[in-house]
Amino acid sequence: MKRHHWLSMLALSVLSAAVSANQPLEQGPAGSEMAVFAGGCFWCTEADFDKVPGVVDTVSGYIGGDAVSANYPQVSAGGTPHIEAVAVFYNPAETDYAALVEAFWPTIDPVTPNAQFCDRGPQYRSALFYADEQQQQILEQSREALANSGKLSDPIVTEILPQTAFYPAEDYHQNYYSKNPVRYHFYRSRCGRDNRLKELWGAH
């Protein structure tokens, strides 16, 4: 959770520099580690991860394409290879990568390909990204365990992909749920996200 004001200010300066220079984001607050997840609309994925203990910052952005086309008009229209995603920065003394993966699953629809809720197209598909072989193994084991758990009646289509350059989204997308709470809640409700999650995972 974004509990520490000075950490958020530091992350904001790093983010602003990356956005203005259209450069990949590779680091967050000092001492934090980075993980990337795609769960459809990045507003919602960012809001969900900000509730997870040990998460110190989150950044909405794009992964899977180049810097030139990493912008909302092109990505949202499906005109690039990018996927909407969120970079999650976490304190390794409080949580770990495996715990974040387990927290991620109940926030998405892992059985619908090339879409999440009302957002359609491969730019909104669900995916987990690994930075090394250890993370890849964690992801594959987690997906297999979920598939064998009997919790889902359909096959899991969420992809496991290598982590490539992550480009921060435009400033107005960052922390959208807290900057524009009325619009955010209207979008989330209209999109049917929480109803579908309840259908898939039950009440939490």
Among 41, 44, 118, 191, the active-site one is 41
pTM across the whole model:
0.90
For the chain, which residues make up each domain, given as ranges? Answer: 5-201
H or E element in which residue 144 lies: helix 133-148
Beta-carbon contacts of 69 under 8 Å, excluding residues fewer than 6 positions away, are 75, 79, 80, 82
Under-70 pLDDT residues of the chain: 1-21, 204
With tokens 């009302």, the residue in question is 118
CA 130/CA 137 separation, integer angstroms: 9
The per-residue pLDDT for 203 is: 75
Q: Is 41 a known active-site residue?
A: yes
- Find tokens 């904001």 and name the residue: 12
For the purposes of burial, counting CB atoms within 10 Å of the CB of 165, is it exposed (0-12), middle (13-18) or buried (19 or more)?
middle
In whole angstroms, give the CA distance from residue 104 to residue 38: 9
pLDDT for the residue numbered 15: 57
Map tokens 């520490």 to a residue: 4
What is the CATH number that goes with domain 5-201? 3.30.1060.10
The CA distance from 63 to 103, in Å, is 21
Q: Provide the pLDDT for residue 19.
A: 55
58 and 104 in contact (C-beta within 8 Å)?
A: no
Calculate the alpha carbon distances from 31 to 3, 21, 106, 121 in Å. Answer: 15, 24, 27, 36
Tokens 């960012």 found at: 46
Number of neighbours of residue 52 by Cβ within 10 angstroms: 19
Nearest to 57 by CA among 85, 35, 82: 35
Of 102, 100, 88, the residue nearest 32 (C-alpha): 88
